[in-house]
Structure 1
Amino acid sequence: MSKPKPIRLGIMGFGQTGRKIYELASQSDDIEVVAIADIGAPEILHYLLCSEVKNPDQHTLEGNFLCNPRFRSRMMPIDRPAEMPWDVFGVDMVIDATGNFREKHFMEDHLRSGAPRVLNRSLPRDGIDRIVIPGINCDSISAADRMVSAGSATTTALALLLDILSDRFAIECASMTTIHSYTSDQSLQDYAGSDFRRSRSAAENIIPNTHEASLWIGQILPKFEGKVITSALNVPIQDGCLLDVNLVLTDTAVSVDDINKAMRDSVARFPGVVAVAEDPIVSSDVIGNSSSLLFDIPGTIKAGSNTIKTLSWYENLGHAARLLDVVRLYAKLDAAEEAA
C-alpha cells in the first residue's frame, strides 16, 4: 500500500505560535508547510525560528524558501487573508496564526483566496462553523466545516479540566483566572492604546484583563452554559501560564485526594494532551511541554465545605500541537469522505 500524501498546510502569521506549528510539522511525517504568509523579512523570520528550535542547523533560508530536511515553505510578504493566493500552493488547510483575523468575514477571505478550510488559532468573534477541542468534541466535526477554531490555549486547558472533573463530580459553577505570560500585542513600555490597563508596560506590571473563554465554554461543554466566569492576569514573564480554577461542588464529601485521583486517572484517557505534575514546579519548568493541561497535584486545596481550588499549567507549544491535531482530524475525515 502506498504511503498517504502529506497534508499540505499553509500558515498565516509567523509569530510565536506560527513558528511552533512549523517546528512541530517539520518533526512529523504527515504534514508539510508549503507556504507562510508574514510581512516580516524572510531573513529575520528565519533568524527568529533558529533562535528557538532545538536543531537550528536543519533550518535554512534559500531565497524566499524556508527549508528543512522534510519540506520547503514559500515565504510570502502578505498580511491580509484576501491577498494571499492559497490556491496557487494547493493547500489542504490554512492555519491563521496571527490572532488578528478572528471575524467570520476574514475567515471567508481565506476561503475566497483558495483555502479549502481555515483553522483559526484563536477564539472567534462571531459565529463560525465549529470550535473543536481535541479530546472533547472531536466527534462533532463535519466534512462540511470550512471555518473552524481550535479555541485558545487557555480555553482548551479550562475545557479539559471541567470535562474531566464533571465526569466524576457535580459542579455547580466555576471561576477561572489565567495567570498568563505577556503577549505580542502588549507594549513593553507605557504606551497609549485602546485599553487603559493594557496601555501599561507588560514588562513591569501585573495587568488585570478579561478573558473570552466564558463566552464560548457553553458551546464546547453545554452543561456549563452560564456557570463559568473567566478573567486573566498578564504577568511579566515570556512563557508558561498558570490556570487557577475555583470549583463549587454539590457534594461536600469530595476531598483533595478525590480530585487529584480523578486527574491522575485522566492521563490515560487523554494521552499527550493531559499530564500531571507531582513536584512543586514553577512556570519555567513548563517550557517545552506539549500537553494542553499539566495539572499541579500539590496545588489542589479545599476551602470550606464544597469549594476546591486547582492549579494547572500550559504553554503555547501545547496549543500548536492541538492545532495540528485538528488539522489531522479533518484530513482523516476528508480522506474517508473521498473513499466512500
Structure 2
Amino acid sequence: MNRIPPAFPAHAPLRIAINGYGRIGRCVLRALHELGLNDLIEVVAINEPSDLATMAYLSQFDSTHGIFPGTVQAGEACLRVNGREIAVTHETRPEAVDWAAMGIDLLLECSGRYGSRAQFQRFIDAGCPRLLVSHPGESAEDVDYTIVYGVNQNGVPADAAIVSNASCTTNASIPVLAALDQEYGVRHVFLTTLHSVMNDQPLIDGYHHNDLRRTRSAMQSIVPVATGLAQGVERLLPQLRGKVQAKAIRVPILNVSAIDLMLQLTCDVSAAQLNTTLHELSVRSPGLVGYSNHPHASIDFNHNPNSVVIDGSQTRTNGDGFANLFLWFDNEWGFANRMLDATQAWAAKFHPAAQAVAD
C-alpha cells in the first residue's frame, strides 16, 4: 500500500475526480446531484477522451434515466453543472494527467480499461492519492480491498490506495447469499445473470470483440458471454469457495438486469420461510436490499438505487434444500449509488469532514 498524503481541512468537501465518463461515470455525477451530496463530495475534474460538447449533451439528455434535473453546459475546458465548474481533460493515458495538481482526495476509475495492479498503479504513480475502481480487479491481489457496501464497507483500511467497488452483479448477489448462508448454510450456488446490453456489443453484426458471440447484433439476440461472477462471490464469501458456478446472458434491453439464483441449502426450507428471511434482510438494509411480491417486469426497476430487489413472487423450493430465487437490479443506477456509498465509507477513514458525517 502507498503512503497516504495529509487529509484536507475538516470543513473542506471531499475532492474527487472521475476517469472515464461513460455510463457509470455519468450516473455517478448525476446521482451526486440527485442525492444532494454535492456539498459533501465535490467533483473537481473529469478525464474523458470525448469532446466537451458531447459530454455536456449526454449528461443533460439520457435515454435511460431521463433529462438531468438541472443544467449542464460546456465551458472553456470545463463542464458547468448546476453552475459549478468541473475541469475536463481528454487524455487516454493515466500519466498524461497531472492528478497531483488537482488536489484530489480520491479518483473514481470508471473507464473499465484497467484491471491489473500494474495498470492501477499507473494512476498512483501519476499523482493520484487513492483509486476507487468501478469493477473487480483481475485477481484479489490487484486491489487492496473490495467493498460490497452493506456487507464489508467498515473493513476498508485507512491506508489503502487501490479499492474496488466489485461489480453490479456481485453487489446484487453477495448480500442475499451472505444472509442465506448465515441463516441456513449454503452447499452449492449457481447464478445465471440476465444482463442488459453493454457498449462492447454492436447494434448490428460487426468486428467488436474477440468473443465471436459479441460480434452479433445486441438488439436481435440473446447472447451468452463470459463472466467472473463466481470468482467475485468466492473472494467476498470465502466460505463458499469451490461451491459457486455462474454464467451470464446479455438480453436486448437498455438497462436493468436480473439474477436467476439456484442454490442448495444445508436444510429443507419452504418458499414462505425463505421469503420471510429475505424480507427481514430488506428491512435491515434500507436503500440497499429491496423486496417485493408484485408481478414485475424489468422496467419497474429502472433508476432504482438498491443493489438488489428480491422478487418474492418467484421464490421456489423443491426439497433436499434446493431453492430458486429471482433478483432484480439496475446495473447502472444501483451501482453508481454504491460507488458513492463506497466513496463515503472509505473517506470516513481518512477525511475529517467525512469522519464527522459518519460520526
CA–CA separation in structure 2 for the residues paired with 1:10 and 1:31: 10
The within-5 A match list for 1:126-145 is 126=139, 127=141, 128-145=143-160
> What is the CA deviation profile of residues 282-333 of structure 1, one whole-angstrom value per residue up to 9, with x for unaligned ones?
1111101000011111011113432111001111111111111111112110
Partner of 1:33: 43
CA–CA separation in structure 2 for the residues paired with 1:300 and 1:203: 29
- Structure 2 gap ranges (5+): 1-8
* Paired AA for residue 295 in structure 1: I
Q: Could you say what secondary structure the match of 2:348 adopts?
A: helix
Q: CA deviation at 1:78?
A: 1.3
> What is the CA deviation profile of residues 148-203 of structure 1, one whole-angstrom value per residue up to 9, with x for unaligned ones?
10101001111111012112111101000110001111112212331121121111
Shift in alpha-carbon separation, 1:333–1:45, aligned structure 2, 3 A: same
Partner of 2:113: 100
CA–CA separation in structure 2 for the residues paired with 1:337 and 1:97: 24
Q: Could you say what secondary structure the match of 2:304 adopts?
A: coil
Partner of 2:344: 328
Does residue 258 in structure 1 map to residue 265 in structure 2?
no
CA–CA separation in structure 2 for the residues paired with 1:88 and 1:338: 22
CA–CA separation in structure 2 for the residues paired with 1:231 and 1:224: 17
Q: 2:55 aligns with which of 25, 45, 48?
A: 45
CA–CA separation in structure 1 for the residues paired with 2:353 and 2:59: 36
> What is the CA deviation profile of residues 84-140 of structure 1, one whole-angstrom value per residue up to 9, with x for unaligned ones?
211111111001101111121121011112111101101111322111111111232
The within-5 A match list for 1:301-320 is 301-315=316-330, 316-320=332-336
Partner of 1:198: 214
Shift in alpha-carbon separation, 1:51–1:338, aligned structure 2, 3 A: closer
Q: RMSD across aligned C-alpha pairs, in angstroms?
A: 1.9
| TM-score under structure 2 length normalisation | 0.89
Q: 1:269 aligns with which of 284, 293, 304?
A: 284
The within-5 A match list for 1:1-340 is 4-26=11-33, 27-28=36-37, 29-52=39-62, 54-69=67-82, 71-126=84-139, 127=141, 128-192=143-207, 193-252=209-268, 254-315=269-330, 316-335=332-351
Shift in alpha-carbon separation, 1:134–1:57, aligned structure 2, 3 A: closer
Q: May I ask how many residue pairs the two structures share in their alignment?
A: 337
CA–CA separation in structure 1 for the residues paired with 2:16 and 2:85: 11
Preserved contact between residue 210 and residue 230 of structure 1 (Cα < 8 Å): no
Range 274-283 or range 232-241, more displaced: 274-283
CA–CA separation in structure 2 for the residues paired with 1:141 and 1:115: 18
Task: Between the two structures, name the one with larger relative contact order (CA 8 Å, sep ≥ 6).
Answer: 2
Preserved contact between residue 33 and residue 71 of structure 1 (Cα < 8 Å): no
- Structure 1 gap ranges (5+): none
| TM-score under structure 1 length normalisation | 0.94
